[in-house]
Every structure is written in C-alpha cells, then in structure tokens.
C-alpha cells in the first residue's frame, strides 16, 4: 500500500496565531471573544455540537483547527431559509456540510417508513430538528447564503450516496448526492486525510475541480482526462477481475445513472464493482456518467497510522456538549460520554452494514498510551464519572490490532470479508494485544470497572478462549450482546454471517468461563427480520429456535435498505451481487418487500407477543404448520387470545415520544425465570 503524507506534517495556515478555542464558535459573539473577524471554514451539521471525538463535526473541526484554520460550527440550523446559514458570516475558504453521525433518512424514519418521534443527536431527544436529505438541503441554503463559496460534503450520508444509489424511502434510484446537492466536492469514508489536503489546497487558491489526485473524493468532470484507459464493469468478471491486465492509469466505468435507474440488474452489477474496489491497496478510480457529465470517484483513502489516530483522538476537545444547550440531555452523548474508541474499521463485511463501506476493512488502532490518556481525561474531566468505563471498543469489540499476516497479500486482496465464509488463514486472529490493553485499562487509578458494550465478533473470539475468559471475568455486566442475526443458511449466506454453529461454540466457551468465574451471565443474541434471502419458513424456524432457547425479543430490527449496501442491491434488484452479475446468469434472491410480509417476519421474532398471535395463526395455517398452534410447551403460539389483544395487525406496541423513550433492548428469558436487557448502540445499517 502506498505511503501517504502524514496529516500533521503540513505547514500551518497563518490563522494558527489565534490558538485553540475552548469550543468551536457557534455565534458571532464567540468569534468576537476569540478575536476572529471571520471563519476560514464553517461546518454545517444536522447534529447538536458535542466537542468529543465520537462526533464527526468535532473531529473535523478540531483537526482543521490544528492545521491553523479558524473553524465555526452551525449545528441543526433552521433549514427553511438561508438566514441561519449567515450566522457566522461568509467562510473564507469553504463550507463543510454533513448530515451528522447518521444518514438523515435513517435518523428520521423507521424501516417501515414511519417518521421517528425522537432524535438521539438533539438536545432533549427532540425530533424534527433536521430535514429529509439534510446534505442536499443544507447545501442549497449554503449556496443561497453565499453563492461563491465552495461546498465540501462529508459524513456518512454523503459517503454512502457518493454514486447513483437506490433510495428506500422514495423507492427509486437517485443520482449521486454530489449532483443533487450541486456541491463542489465530496469526501467519503474516514475523511481526515482528505480534508486536510483539500483545506490546504483551497487556502492556496486552487479549484476543487482539480483535486482528482486526492484519495477518498468524488467530483464532477466534463470528460475522462487524456491518458486514462477505461475498463467497463461488464468486462472485469474474470477469475481475477482483470486486475493484472489493467495498467496503472485505468479507470473503471460503472454503468451510467440512466442505466442503473432503468435496470435493477445493471444496478446490482455497479454495486458489485464498487464493493470490489474498496481495498485502498488495489482499488482503481471509478467513473459514472450522469447526463452529460462524469462523476469521478478516486480510490479509498490510505488508512491512518497509529500515530495519526492518536493525534486525532488527542486533539483539544472540550469533551462535552456546547454550553449553548444549557445542560439539556443529548441522548447520543449520554450513551458514549464514558466510553472509549480504540479502533476503526471492520473486516467482517456484513452485507447489510455500512461500517465497512464507510470506515473500510483495514483496522486502524490507537496506541495503548493514547487510550490510557483518554481514560484519565474521562476520570478527571467528565462530570458524573463514577469509575465505570461504559464501553471500550469500536465498530466491533475485538478487532483491535488484528490484521492480515502479510501486507502484500492484504494489498492485493479483493474479498469483501476476512471472516466469511470462513476466517481467512492469512488473518492474524491473536487477541493478545487486546487482552493486555484490558489489563492496563483496569489498572488505571480511579477506574472500578471497564465494560465491553461494542458487539463482539464471536466467530473471531472463539479463536482465543483466553480472550473469552478475560471478557467474562472482568468486562461483562450480567449480559453480553452478540449478533448472529439469523439461524438459517438462506439469509445468513446473503448477510455474509457465519452459521448458528459459530454462536453455539461461542456460547459453550462463554458459559464455561462464567461458571469458572462463579458468575451468572447470559448472552443476548440479536436478529434481523425480512433480510433478502429470508423466507417465511426461515423466520418460522428462527422463532422455534428462540422459543426452544428461551429468548423473547423485546424489540427487533427489521432490515432497512441503507444506501449503497450490498443487501440493498439485493433488495432492489432481486439478484445476488456477492456473485458474478451477468445477464441471464445472475443468482436470484428472494426479497421481502410487502408490508404484510415484513410484519409477519417481525411477528415471528416476537412470537410471544399476543398482538402478533392472530397474524401468526393465519400464517402457520397457510404454511401447513398448524401443529405449532396450541397450548403445550412445544407449541409456538397458543390457541387462546387474551381479551383486548391482537387488534393492531401484528404491529404490537410502538415506541417514540408518545410511548416513552425509544430503547435498543432485547430481553432474554431463561429456565430459571430470570430476565434482563442490555443497551445496544444503534448500528449503521
């Protein structure tokens, strides 16, 4: 993998003389107090401003501040006119526009397209503080406010919509968000490296349209530049994807927007190519025609080194919400205020998840020293700390410092997952670095308990029984969440998840470790309803498994087709992009689209809820499985119906502002009658 210029090696912008702001300003009064007459960069975000490294606007803002730029924040502005976008004046260099830590459509709507009544990234959890398709709307208002200022897009909404993409909420393929927003350039993935380069170039007066040599960006061109050879997506489905036959100046042409809009199988082919070109070690630029212009997407950014990761997480964050919120509770902040991120990325490659698409497969880990320093900061500077670190992890709990054994193999690999269908023999699965980190963290004075709340990749954990023992003995608080997602091979093969046997092996080791430690701990497994490749029979079998094992899902996840995910391509096209997509030769995938069937799949996960029993009785009879209806222990649902229940069409009770705060819980019931729940962070799906 090529070397990259260290992000902290640039000559600082002249405004570095102003020093560090206690909080990045959100008002002219704060700018005046800092002695600023203007901002160099203004970041517009759909989230409340929390100056903490778990919030994107803070990371980008503080990183640009470290480069010498004056950065202002406009958080959750009134998007109905441009006045709120003029609050800090005209930015000298550019606007940075993001929807926040979540895609605005995922944030605002459920998987059944119902609007949510709350928003975890807003003071008081209040909903309706950001618009639909926030990046597009914010960009329009920025242009109205100061039309000559460049607009740079970033964050997960922009990242996952960088090419033509299927949009679940409108049920159609939309153009790249760069086109619809009329912005100047888009940064995708972990954007630290790109934003530093882009900022310094714009400060020197260069046009963002010329930044086609910067990794991790998308921009518009009139034509493909001279000297580039085009390879079409249709032509690279050979055994090695044609990689060895293509020269260094090769750009892969994705099917045009008009083609993927008109034909879903062509869309699946484009999705397959995009995901095959995700390794920064071998990815090539992509080009996709949109009308009379070319969308140019450069290869993914080079991952940050440990030293760079440390530098990013050690920037002078205030480590809390901006004082303007007056102490109002921001649920997302409350969830992570005592947690520590130790790594980024995920090589699991689950087809429904956005982590790999956004953060990449290569694990980027912080040093022990940096992590210990942050824990000391939490202890000394975070109000309300009681000695408990609520989570130490990242996208997964147990991929810290795990990587391919051979950098050359890693750079050449085009597999979407390092652990599916089996763990790659080239993957170093040692958990020793993580075990040693846990022990050092527990030894920090003032730390009483260190919890692991990030999801454990259990098929990886079974390679290290010592890790499981360490986890159970010291870092579990009664319940540990893991995500087998299903029990049946049909959906699991489309999710790129291991079979339920891997869960069984982990459970054996977990239970043995708990018994050895004299603890009564339990696993809380999570499952997805209505994922592509899932039949009614699959969901019935899962429900039987749940009852047999004594689990009752309090809240369930129905598959939500997020932009750009491989599972979304399956949902939209009905074909499998995990395999070659060829006209007449593509593998078909059963999809669950109708609301009635989606409700049924959810109902099977909540087989114990009387609200679902009428729907399940009808379905079981239609499936020829009336033998599962009865009042015995071996039956799935009873014959009787409690008075006043079963009248809601199988929806059960809903959550939201009218029914209490939305929770991410699953409750398990066991033979002893014990039950409990474990908080689950919402995952990017």
> Vertex 236, ends 234 and 242: CA angle to 5°?
165
Q: CA 368 to CA 310: how far, in whole Å? A: 10
Q: What dihedral do alpha carbons 368, 371, 375, 380 form, nearest 10°?
A: 100
Determine if residue 404 is labeled as part of a ligand binding site: no
Among residues 625, 629, 632, 596, which one has the least CA distance to residue 613?
629
Q: CA 100 to CA 58: how far, in whole Å? A: 11
Query: 324 φ, ψ to 5°?
Result: -60, -20
Residue 48's region, left for phi above 0, alpha for psi from -120 to 50, else beta, is beta
Q: What letters, b where the CB count within 10 A reaches 16 and e where it falls short, cover 539-572? A: bbbbbbbbbeeebbbbbbbbbbbbbbbbbbbbbb
Write out the two tokens for 331: 């649920």
Q: CA 305 to CA 327: how far, in whole Å? A: 36
Name residues whose C-beta falls within 8 Å of residue 458's C-beta, 6 or more positions apart in sequence: 482, 484, 502, 503, 506
Q: CA 424 to CA 406: how far, in whole Å? A: 12
Name residues whose C-beta falls within 8 Å of residue 205's C-beta, 6 or more positions apart in sequence: none
Q: What is the DSSP string of 509-546?
A: HHHHHHHHHT---EEEEEEEES-TT--HHHHHHHHHHH
Q: What is the distance of C-alpha 271 from the center of its chain?
A: 18
Q: What is the DSSP string of 187-256?
A: E-SS-HHHHHHHHHHHHTT--GGG-TTSTTEEEEESSPPTT-EEEEGGG--STTTTGGGS-TTEEEEEPP
Q: CA 452 to CA 474: how far, in whole Å? A: 9
Write out the two tokens for 262: 């008109």
Determine if residue 142 is labeled as part of a ligand binding site: no
Query: 340 φ, ψ to 5°?
Result: -135, 130
Q: CA 8 to CA 10: how far, in whole Å? A: 6
Write out the two tokens for 473: 């003995």
Determine if residue 350 is labeled as part of a ligand binding site: yes
Residue with tokens 């008075």: 643
Q: What is the DSSP string of 61-80?
A: HHHHHHTT--EEEEES--TT
Q: CA 546 to CA 288: how far, in whole Å? A: 45
CA distances from residue 488 to 528, 565, 596, 598 in whole angstroms, order as listed: 12, 21, 21, 17
Binding-site members for [4Fe-4S] cluster are 346, 350, 353
Binding residues: 346, 350, 353
């Amino acid at each position: 993998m090529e070397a990259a210029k260290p992000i902290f090696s640039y000559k600082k912008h002249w405004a570095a003389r102003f020093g560090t702001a206690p909080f990045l300003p959100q008002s002219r009064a704060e700018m005046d107090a800092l002695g600023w007459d203007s901002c160099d960069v203004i970041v517009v975000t759909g989230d409340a401003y929390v100056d903490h490294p778990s919030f994107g606007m803070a990371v980008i803002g503080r990183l640009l501040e470290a480069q010498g730029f004056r950065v202002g924040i406009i958080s959750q502005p009134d998007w109905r006119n441009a006045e709120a976008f003029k609050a800090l004046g005209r930015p000298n260099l550019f606007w940075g526009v993001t929807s926040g830590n979540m895609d605005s459509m995922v944030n605002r709507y459920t998987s059944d397209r119902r609007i949510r009544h709350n928003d975890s990234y807003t003071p008081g959890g209040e909903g309706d503080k950001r618009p639909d398709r926030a990046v597009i709307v914010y960009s329009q208002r920025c242009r109205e406010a100061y039309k000559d200022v460049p607009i740079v897009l970033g964050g997960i909404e922009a990242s996952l919509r960088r090419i033509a993409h299927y949009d679940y909420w409108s049920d159609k393929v939309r153009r790249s968000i760069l086109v619809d927003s009329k912005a100047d350039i888009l940064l995708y993935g972990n954007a630290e490296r790109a934003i530093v380069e882009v900022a310094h170039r714009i400060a020197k007066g260069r046009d963002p349209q010329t930044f086609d040599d910067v990794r991790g960006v998308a921009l518009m061109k009139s034509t493909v530049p001279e000297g580039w050879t085009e390879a079409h997506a249709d032509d690279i489905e050979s055994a090695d994807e044609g990689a060895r036959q293509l020269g260094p100046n090769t750009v892969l042409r994705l099917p045009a927007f008009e083609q993927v809009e008109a034909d879903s199988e062509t869309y699946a082919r484009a999705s397959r190519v995009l995901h095959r070109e995700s390794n920064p070690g071998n990815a090539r630029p992509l080009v996709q025609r949109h009308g009379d212009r070319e969308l140019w997407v450069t290869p993914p950014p080079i991952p940050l080194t440990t030293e760079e990761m440390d530098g990013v997480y050690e920037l002078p964050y205030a480590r809390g919400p901006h004082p303007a919120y007056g102490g109002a509770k921001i649920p997302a902040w409350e969830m992570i205020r005592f947690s520590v991120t130790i790594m980024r990325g995920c090589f699991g490659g689950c087809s429904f998840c956005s982590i790999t698409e956004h953060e990449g497969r290569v694990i980027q880990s912080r040093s022990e020293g940096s992590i210990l320093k942050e824990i000391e900061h939490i202890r000394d500077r975070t109000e309300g700390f009681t000695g408990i670190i609520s989570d130490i992890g990242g996208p997964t709990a147990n991929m810290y410092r795990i990587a391919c054994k051979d950098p050359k193999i890693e750079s050449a690999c085009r597999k979407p997952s390092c652990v599916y269908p089996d763990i790659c023999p080239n993957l170093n699965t040692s958990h020793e670095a993580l075990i040693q980190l846990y022990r050092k963290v527990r030894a920090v004075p003032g730390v009483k308990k260190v919890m692991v709340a990030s999801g454990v990749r259990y098929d990886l954990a079974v390679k290290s029984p010592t890790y499981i023992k360490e986890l159970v003995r010291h870092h579990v608080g009664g319940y540990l969440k893991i995500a087998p997602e299903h029990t049946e091979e049909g959906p699991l093969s489309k999710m790129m998840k291991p079979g339920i046997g891997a869960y069984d092996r982990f459970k054996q080791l977990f239970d043995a470790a708990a018994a050895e430690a004299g603890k009564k701990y339990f696993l809380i497994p999570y499952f997805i309803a209505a994922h592509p490749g899932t039949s009614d029979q699959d969901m019935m079998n899962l429900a039987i498994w749940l009852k047999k094992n004594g689990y009752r899902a309090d809240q369930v996840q129905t598959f939500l087709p997020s932009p750009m995910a491989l599972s979304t391509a399956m949902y939209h096209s009905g074909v499998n992009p995990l395999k070659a997509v060829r006209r007449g030769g593509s593998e078909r995938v059963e999809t669950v689209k109708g609301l009635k069937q989606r409700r049924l799949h959810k109902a099977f996960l909540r087989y114990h809820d009387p609200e679902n029993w009428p729907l399940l009785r009808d379905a079981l009879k239609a499936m020829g499985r009336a033998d599962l209806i009865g009042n015995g222990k071996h039956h799935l649902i009873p014959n009787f119906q409690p008075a006043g229940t079963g009248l809601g069409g199988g929806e059960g009770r809903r959550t939201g502002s009218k029914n209490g705060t939305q929770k991410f819980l699953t409750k398990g019931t066991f033979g002893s009658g014990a039950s409990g729940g474990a908080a689950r962070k919402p995952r990017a799906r």
